[in-house]
Chain A
Amino acid sequence: MFAAISALALVQAAFASGSKESSGSSSKTVTITYWQYTFPTKVTEINNLVQTFEQQNPNIKVVAQDFPYDQYNQKVTAAMHAGQGPDIMNLYYGWLPLYVGQGYLQPIPSSFMSTSQIESYYVPMIEASKINGQYYSLPIAVRSLALLWNKDLFQKAGLDPNTPPATWDQLISDAKKMTIRKSNGQLEQEGFGWNVTGQGYHTFEEILLREWGVTPFSADGKKVLWNSSPAGLQAFTYWIDMATQDKIGEQSFLQNYNTAFMAGKAAMIIDGSFDVAAIQKAAKFPWGVTTPPTKTVGGVQSNFGSFWTNGFAKGVTGDQLAAAEKFMKFLISPETERSWLKNVGELPAAKSFANDSAINNDPIYGPFVQGLKSAHATFFVDETAERQAMSDEIDKILLQNAPIQQTFDELVAKEQQIRDKYFAKQS
Chain B
Amino acid sequence: MCGVLFVALPFLWMILSSLKSLSDFYSFTFFPKHIDWSAYQYIFGQTEYLRWYLNSFIVGIVVTVSGLLFDSLIGYVLAKHRFPGSKVVFVLILSTFMIPTEMLVIPWYVMSVKLHWVDSYWGIMFPGMIEAFGVFLMRQFMFGVPDDLLNAARIDGMSEFRIWWNVAVPQVKPALSALGIITFLGNWNAYLWPVIIISSSKMRTLPVGIALYASADNGGGIQWNTIMAMSTIAVIPIIIVFLIFQKQIVEGITLTGVKG
Using CB atoms and an 8 Å cutoff, list the residues of chain A in contact with chain B: 1, 5, 8-9, 12-13, 15-21, 37-40, 65-71, 74-75, 77-79, 81-84, 198, 254, 256, 258-259, 262-264, 271-272, 274-275, 277-278, 281-282, 284
Contacts and interface: CB of A to CB of B under 8 A. Distances in A.
Contacts of A19: 119-120, 200, 202-203
Interface string B184-222: 000000001001100111110000100111111111111
Contact of A69 (B119, B215, B223): B215
Nearest to B105: A78
Given A5-B66, A74-B195, A278-B222, 20 more contacts: A1-B165, A12-B125, A15-B120, A15-B121, A16-B123, A17-B116, A65-B199, A69-B215, A71-B195, A74-B196, A78-B106, A79-B109, A82-B112, A83-B113, A198-B219, A259-B26, A262-B26, A263-B27, A272-B218, A275-B218
Contacts of A69: 215-217
Contact of B221 (A16, A254, A278): A278
Nearest to B120: A16
Nearest to B223: A40
8 contacts: A16-B117, A39-B217, A65-B200, A68-B195, A75-B196, A83-B113, A263-B28, A275-B219
Interface string B210-250: 01111111111111000000000000000000000000000
B30 to A, nearest CB: 15
B176 interface: no
B110 interface: yes
Given A20-B116, A38-B212, A78-B106, A12 B221 contact: no
B122 A12 contact: yes
A66 B201 CA distance: 8
A282 B26 contact: yes
Given A13-B122, A256-B219, A278-B219, A78 B26 contact: no
Nearest to A38: B212
Contacts of B23: 281-282, 284
A262 B23 CA distance: 8
Given A5-B66, A16-B116, A84-B113, A21 B217 contact: no
Give the secondary structure class of A's interface: helix
Nearest to A281: B22
Nearest to B208: A68
A1 B23 CA distance: 54
Contacts of B192: 71
> Top 5 closest A-B pairs, CB basis?
A278-B221, A263-B26, A82-B113, A16-B120, A69-B215
Given A75-B195, A81-B106, A82-B109, A20 B217 contact: no
Given A38-B215, A71-B192, A82 B26 contact: no
Contacts of B208: 68
Nearest to A143: B218
A7 to B, nearest CB: 12
A340 to B, nearest CB: 15
A277 B122 contact: no
B106 A271 contact: no
B241 to A, nearest CB: 19
B234 to A, nearest CB: 16
Nearest to A64: B201
Contacts of B222: 278
A65 B201 contact: yes
Interface in B146-202: 165, 192, 195-196, 199-202
A82 B217 contact: no
Contacts of A12: 62, 120-122, 125
B187 to A, nearest CB: 14
Interface in B17-70: 22-23, 25-28, 62, 66, 69
Nearest to A68: B211
A81 B111 CA distance: 11
Contacts of A272: 218
B219 to A, nearest CB: 5
Nearest to B203: A19
Nearest to B197: A78
B118 interface: yes
Given A16-B117, A281-B22, A274 B202 contact: no
A67 B219 contact: no
Contacts of B66: 5
Contacts of B125: 12
Of A9, A71, A77, A274, chain B has the most CB atoms within 10 Å of the CB of A71
B63 to A, nearest CB: 11
Contacts of B62: 8, 12
A70 B121 CA distance: 23
